[in-house]
Amino acid sequence: MNFCSECGHAVALSIPAGDNRPRHVCTQCGTIHYQNPKMVIGSIPVWEPALAQEGTLQVLLCRRAIEPRHGYWTLPAGFMENGETTSEAALRETEEEAGAHIEIGKLFSLLNVAHVHQVHMFYLARLLDLDFAPGEESLDVQLFSERDIPWDELAFPTIRTTLELFFADRVKMREGVLHTYEVHSHDIRHPMIAPREPD
């Protein structure tokens, strides 16, 4: 940040009185410009037909049409807007990126991504129908069973972590260890390095 959004003058990094870390402070009007982590909100849209046998559950993934990680697969998610609740953001992002109609469930994963100043949150979600299509930011949208997920082409570590936790909870519920999905909180300490370029 170079200039104050209040008066247009230059800003400088300094520690304001009563604070404990450098902030961008206007050299003219004294306005303190705080920079805080961004919220990335998404869903885990699941399709499981009624009376289906175990193993037929599928998750909806989007193939990214934008950078970063163009061409890689992700759960529908994006930055939360002002005036939204987190569940409203998850609904909006799922509709925008996948054209999908969902019923939002409870919060499933909360992932701190400190190295990029973000917090990622994913909600459980049930697809209401199979009427979905790529949005402006997606090249493709597909349903995947666990074994068919393109694990080596997932866009971000938060996506891999969330999907791994989701399917692990499914196993625990089948075994009677869990009766419902847990809420998971994790810290992502390093960026994912792409194993190869997607086709």
Residues 11 and 65 in one domain: no
Residue 196 inside a domain? The answer is no
- Looking at residue 14, which CATH number applies to its domain? 2.20.70.10
Residues 25 and 74 in one domain: no
Residues 57 and 108 in one domain: yes
pLDDT score for 139: 98
What is the spatial distance between Cα 38 and Cα 41, in angstroms, rounded to a whole number? Answer: 10
> Domain limits at 59?
38-187
pLDDT over threshold 80, residue 169: yes
**Going by C-beta distance under 8 Å and a sequence separation of 6 or more, which residues neighbour residue 101?**
95, 127, 128, 129, 131, 132
Digit-coded pLDDT (tens) for 58-81: 999 999 999 999 999 999 999 999
What is the spatial distance between Cα 40 and Cα 155, in angstroms, rounded to a whole number? Answer: 14
Digit-coded pLDDT (tens) for 111-168: 999 999 999 999 999 999 999 999 999 999 999 999 999 999 999 999 999 999 999 9
Residues 89 and 144 in one domain: yes
pLDDT over threshold 70, residue 51: no
- Kindly indicate the confidence band of residue 36, based on its pLDDT and cuts at 50, 70 and 90: confident
Domain count, the chain: 2
Q: Please, are residues 117 and 37 in contact by the beta-carbon 8 Å criterion?
A: yes
- The least confident of 3-12, 46-55, 85-94, 150-159 is 46-55
**What is the rounded average pLDDT for all residues in the chain?**
92
Residue 192 inside a domain? The answer is no
pLDDT score for 53: 54
Among the listed residues 36, 117, 115, 121, the one whose alpha carbon sits nearest the alpha carbon of residue 77:
121
- Looking at residue 115, which CATH number applies to its domain? 3.90.79.10
pLDDT score for 172: 96
pLDDT score for 50: 67
